[in-house]
Amino acid sequence: MSSPRCFNFSLESQLKLFIIIFCIVFVGVVNSNSLCKDKKSCDEYESEGKDEERKLNIEDVESRVSRLERRLRAMEQPVWQIRGWPEDWEVCVEGPCKCRPETKSISCWRYGLFDIPAGQLVPQDIIKLDLGSNQLTALHRDTFRNLTELKDLDLSNNMIEHLPLNSFYSLYSITHLRFSKNLLRDLHQNLFLRMRYLEIVDLSSNKLQTLPEGLFVANTALLLLDISSNKISELPTDIFFNLKELEDLLLSKNQLSHLDKNIFKDLINLKCLKLEENHLRELQIGLFDSLGNLIELILRDNQIKVIPADLFINLEALATLDLSNNLISQLNKEAFTGLKALKELRLGKNHIKVLPKGIFLQTPALQQLVLYGNALEKLSDGDFQGLGNLTSLFLHSNRIRRLQSDVLKDTPFLKKLQLESNQLSYVPGRFLDSVPMIQQLRLSRNPWHCDCEVAYLAMWLRKINFWQSGAGAICLGPGTLGGKLVIELTFHQLCDGQWASMRGLAPRLPVELLTPSPPKSVQ
């Protein structure tokens, strides 16, 4: 009697069969739930809670099926031939990709590839492989098998959705890894486990929603990590554990709303941290305490309302701080304590109404201060105290109506001043005398009231004789002076009493001082 026949399914066949069975069960469950709606015995499915639970179950099933499909596509991908023979580079140049034996590199960049070219021979001692800007959707787990000397791998700008767990098992010499502009949704926590020499990882512009704990635990040589332009809403607290060599961390354009105060504690050599275009609302005290070598911190385009005192106290090397386009309405006097090396501070597009006295005493090296697009109405003497090295001051698009005469006396090296798009009708005498080095001045889109109070500005502009357009200062009025350049008006035109009482525009000086007294009658 013959023994029963044994069926030996390949892994691919098993997975296909599993997906088919899974889908049949899934459809059956959905249909049975639909039928229950017509039966009184299934009234529980009518409740909102049950509907929501069923929706979540369906989404979970769909997600699982999607992952299985991605894995199946990876298994079905072709694999090119990898050899370690002396003549391999001579065979490699036959293509279809471009081989360079002198640099031990292969470039398949922009070859319009939908799959890995099975006819391409890849020498085992290859150092650089460029598969960028193609239409690859998946990779077989053996695509890079035995490429133990590969240092640079570029897979950017493809349509890859899944990276098999063992696909990088042989790449323990790799230093540069680029996956930007793909469709990756998730990563296995052990994906980079054998890559101990990894220095650059670019995962930007994918569809990642989270990162698994321990993803970079073995990559202690990392210098640059780019995870920008994904959909990450939360990060594990220890995701950057022991990355003490990391210099650039790019987390911009995600959906982060909260950061644990210990998340950056091991990044002692970090130079650049970019967190712009997230949903951050709060920055905890202590968040940046370990970042003593940080040079650039970008926090623009978030929802930050408050900068706590001493938040940046340990950032003694910081040169650039960008907090523009947030929801900051008030500044703490101690907000910038510790920023002794800061050269550029951007606070534009917030809701700041007042500058606390002495707020810039902790930033003596500041050269560029950006305050445009806020709600400032008045600038007083001493507002810029401590800014003896300031060269650029951007104050445009505020609501500034009043300036005190000596407000710029603490900025003697100022070269660029932007005051356009405010509510200024005049500037007080001596206002610009404190900035003899000024090279660029913008005064357009202000309601300049061209009476005697503007005479100081007109004479100052003519004396400097640098701007033919007079820094864009154009009279709103009064009378026929409306529309004229301030720089072109003479003292007589500005201070003649005939303009002092024009309708709708109050004079800047009392009428009796502008109007000459009538001659006494001769007896």
Of 102, 111, 54, 58, residue with least CA distance to 80: 111
pLDDT value of position 42: 44
pLDDT value of position 497: 56
For residues 227 and 203, the answer to whether their CB atoms sit within 8 Å is yes
For residues 422 and 446, the answer to whether their CB atoms sit within 8 Å is yes
Q: Which two tokens stand for residue 86?
A: 């002396």
Of 457, 367, 382, 369, residue with least CA distance to 413: 367
Helix (H, G, I), strand (E, B) or coil at 344: strand
Q: What is the pLDDT of residues 294-352, one digit of tens each?
A: 999 999 999 999 999 999 999 999 999 999 999 999 999 999 999 999 999 999 999 99
Residues 295, 72: Cα–Cα separation, whole Å: 45
Strand positions, DSSP E, 265-398? 272-274, 296-298, 320-322, 344-346, 368-370, 378-379, 392-394
| Mean of per-residue pLDDT scores for the chain | 85
Residues 62, 231: Cα–Cα separation, whole Å: 19
- Which residues partner with 344 through β-bridges? 320, 368
pLDDT value of position 51: 55
User: Long-range contacts made by residues 487-491, C-beta under 8 angstroms, separation at least 24?
Assistant: 487/458, 487/461, 487/462, 489/450, 489/454, 489/458, 490/458, 491/455, 491/458, 491/459
Q: Which two tokens stand for residue 474?
A: 């154009």
Residues 341, 231: Cα–Cα separation, whole Å: 34
Q: Which two tokens stand for residue 199?
A: 């220095």
Integer CA distances (angstroms), 438 to 366, 387, 403, 426, in order: 17, 15, 18, 19
Of 480, 515, 477, 475, residue with least CA distance to 495: 515
- Which residues partner with 225 through β-bridges? 201, 249
pLDDT value of position 505: 41
Residues in the chain with pLDDT < 70?
1-78, 466-468, 497-523
Helix (H, G, I), strand (E, B) or coil at 451: coil
Q: How far is CA 199 from the centre of its chain?
A: 22
CA dihedral in degrees (470, 473, 477, 483; nearest 10)? Answer: 70
DSSP per position, 407-448: TTTT-TT--EEE--SS--S---TTTTTT-TT--EEE--SS-E
For residues 501 and 511, the answer to whether their CB atoms sit within 8 Å is yes
Of 231, 282, 291, residue with least CA distance to 262: 291
For residue 519, count CB atoms less than 10 angstroms from its CB and return exposed for 0-12, middle for 13-18, buried for 19 or more: exposed
User: Long-range contacts made by residues 388-394, C-beta under 8 angstroms, separation at least 24?
Assistant: 388/364, 388/412, 388/413, 389/364, 389/365, 389/413, 390/366, 390/414, 391/367, 391/415, 391/416, 392/367, 392/368, 392/416, 393/369, 393/417, 393/418, 394/348, 394/368, 394/369, 394/370, 394/418
Residues 444, 485: Cα–Cα separation, whole Å: 10
Q: What is the pLDDT of residues 138-158, one digit of tens each?
A: 999 899 999 999 999 999 999
pLDDT value of position 465: 73
For residues 247 and 223, the answer to whether their CB atoms sit within 8 Å is yes
For residues 307 and 335, the answer to whether their CB atoms sit within 8 Å is yes
For the chain, how far is it from start to end, CA to CA, in angstroms?
Answer: 154
Q: Which two tokens stand for residue 280?
A: 């951050």
How much helix, strand and coil, in percent to the nearest 5, is found in the chain?
Answer: 20, 10, 70
Residues 88, 82: Cα–Cα separation, whole Å: 9
Q: What are phi and psi of 321, to 5 degrees?
A: -130, 120
Residues 315, 337: Cα–Cα separation, whole Å: 9
DSSP per position, 133-165: SS------TTTTTT-TT--EEE--SS------G
